[in-house]
Amino acid sequence: MSAVMTLPGNDPVENVVLAATTDGQAQLLTPAVLDLLADLHRRFESRRQARLAARRERQARFDAGELPDFRDDTRAIRDGDWQVAPLPDALRNRRVEITGPVEPKTVINALNSGANCFMADFEDSTSPTWANLVLGQRALRKAVAGTLDWMAPDGAKHYTLRPADEQAVLLVRPRGWHLDEKHVLVDDAPLAAGLFDVAVFAFHNAAALAARDRGPYLYLPKLESMEEAALWDDVLGHLEQVLGLPAGQIKVTVLIETLPAAFEMDEILHALRGRVAGLNCGRWDYIFSYIKTLRAHPDRVLPERGQVTMAQPFLRAYSDLLIQTCHRRGAHAMGGMAAQIPISGDAEANDAALAKVRADKLREVRAGHDGTWVAHPALIPVARRVFDERMPTSHQHHVGREDVCVGRADLLQAPVGTVTRAGFDNNVEVCVRYLAAWLDGNGCVPIHWLMEDAATAEIARAQLWQWLHHPAIARAAGRSGDAAGPLYLDDGEPIDFALLERALIGLPGKLADRMRLPGGSRINEAIGMLDRLCHAEELAEFLTIPAYRRLD
């Protein structure tokens, strides 16, 4: 860790230490902000730790053979007749939302993009270096003030914001409960990363947003239970009090992107009913969570990543249940992200990629989703056209989806499919290239013309671990004979550590050109990390936790 220091030019705040410095942090992390961070940490850290412990306890039960189910103790919430608070005007029409990391050019391009909303992402698509976080918060502050601009390094283009009423509505996604912010220590302990992201953003922007009849609008990632949602609600309620905001001014949309959360959608809406605007199908983390939650269940192994599409029954069931649940409660049911991005220099391949995006959006609007995500500005017209044609109203809460009858078995149903050699090798390559980029400070990259971020890379990483450890998992689950043997590629080769070693050894040659590019120096480090993560007896909870130790 870098030298421990307090802010130059400011009185130190007692027992708050900033463990790094970067440009512009003094204006952002004023004593008043540090006081607020310390207050939040002292009030809520023990509850965060209790929730993380509860996750581990629940996972231990799943590892011992239990399967997720709807809760008995919350039946009254599911059966009750209640609605979430009315939506603010700015969040009524969310048909196309663009997402992206928080660096200034992306923020300007996204706000100017013509999308209805922009989710500025401190999570799946941002590598949380201290410099990235401070730069991102400064960019958002200037964006809300209307003063953000950016000059291309070669001076060829000066980026400025369109007038405020032509910009997308801003939403911010903080990091999840599992992540620490090691650069801010309160009473010698790291701050919760999500508290840092939310508190710094709200402190600097709530007043300017309120002047435009808006508030801090958030996307909350990776929740696993209604208790975690209640913790956010208490944090945000406290922030409103401290910042002098009316109760409920801070709105949230919750990503349902873990398998346990899919069994608590009503409960999560209920815990946040005074401020929740919707739920979102975060499909990539959801697939990752399915693998992670059911890692000890040898009968629920997923086929290769490319075969796990939203057409798979378990994913369709999750999306249908989310729509039904949201519309019953007066909340938006947001769709998710297709991974395809535009392909330059190959018109035919580009058409095929856009056709996949179109088909995904068509499925969403037909199912009853009220809006969707795109990863790239060029996809906005594709998504908009599909939603405009089939959703003439600002949302479709009237589509109740009473036809949907999703039970436990539907959410848990394992998809059938195969693992090909190309699928295996692609998982290895994606993990290594993504990790190398992340370690170099870039949290979202195109790989083989697909958007790769922490969630998509996690699927690749967790799959490799699951496939490779299948014999041990099967034995622990009481299987014997062939059933406790290795899994096989569709060409008959066993999926074992020799296969992994061959794929890893081949990579430096395959990526030689990239290793000479900026960030390429981290490829060997990424290869070593992936090798260790795959060999580990336990599936690491998140890739970004060990990777974060190597950041900065």
What residues are labeled active site? 173, 453
Q: Which two tokens stand for residue 156?
A: 């060829």
DSSP H or E run through 255:
strand 251-256
Q: How far apart are the first and last CA of the chain?
A: 7
Q: Which DSSP string do the residues of 341-410 spell out, in sequence order?
A: ---TT-HHHHHHHHHHHHHHHHHHHHHT-SBEEESSGGGHHHHHHHHHHH--SS--TT---TT----HHH
| Closest distance of CB 394 from Mg ion, Å | 25
Query: Which DSSP category does 494 fall into?
Result: B
Residue 178 to residues 225, 444, 532, Cα–Cα distance (Å): 13, 20, 21
455 binds ligand ACO (CB under 6 A): yes
Site residues, ligand LL5AMS7Z (CB under 6 A): 124, 255, 257, 282-285, 336-337, 455
Q: Residue from 128, 282, 423, 486 that binds Mg ion (CB under 5 A)?
A: 282
Q: Which residue in 87, 271, 382, 455 binds Mg ion (CB under 5 A)?
A: 455
- Cα 13 vs. chain centroid, distance in angstroms? 32
Q: Identify which of residues 113 and 456 has a Cβ nearer to Mg ion in the complex.
A: 456
Identity of the amino acid at 5: M
Cα separation, 505 vs 496, whole angstroms? 15
Mapping DSSP to helix (H, G, I), strand (E, B) and coil, where does residue 13 land? coil
Chain residue whose CB lies nearest ligand ACO: 100
Smallest separation, CB 456 to ligand LL5AMS7Z (Å): 8
CB 473, min distance to ligand ACO, A: 26
Question: Are residues 293 and 259 in contact, defined by beta-carbon separation less than 8 angstroms?
Answer: yes
User: Which residues in the 99-158 window bind ligand ACO by CB under 6 A?
Assistant: 99-101, 105-106, 109-110, 121, 124-125
Phi, then psi, of 171 in degrees rounded to 5: -125, 150
Residue span binding Mg ion (CB under 5 A) among the ranges 161-169, 199-207, 260-268, 447-455? 447-455
Total binding residues for ligand ACO by CB under 6 A?
25
Query: Interaction with Mg ion in 348-377: which residues (CB under 5 A)?
Result: none
550, 443, 552, 541: which is closest to 179 by C-alpha? 541
> Of 63, 97, 121, 124, which one interacts with Mg ion (CB under 5 A)?
124
In the list 36, 84, 269, 445, the residue contacting ligand ACO (rule: CB under 6 A) is 445
Which positions from 308 through 347 interact with ligand ACO, judged by CB under 6 A?
337, 341-342
User: CA 462: distance to chain centroid?
Assistant: 16
* 31 belongs to the binding site for ligand ACO (CB under 6 A): no
Q: With binding defined as CB under 6 A, does residue 474 bind ligand ACO?
A: no
283 or 300: CB nearest ligand LL5AMS7Z? 283
Q: 303 vs 336, which CB is nearer to ligand LL5AMS7Z? A: 336
CA atoms of 331 and 395, how far apart (whole Å): 10
Pick 150 or 203: Cβ nearer ligand ACO: 150
Please answer whether residues 353 and 343 qualify as being in contact, where contact means their C-beta atoms are separated by less than 8 angstroms: yes
CB of 95 to ligand LL5AMS7Z, least distance (A): 18
User: What is the binding site for ligand ACO (CB under 6 A)?
Assistant: 98-101, 105-106, 109-110, 121, 124-125, 284, 337, 341-342, 375-377, 444-446, 451, 453, 455-456
User: What is the binding site for Mg ion (CB under 5 A)?
Assistant: 124, 257, 282, 285, 455
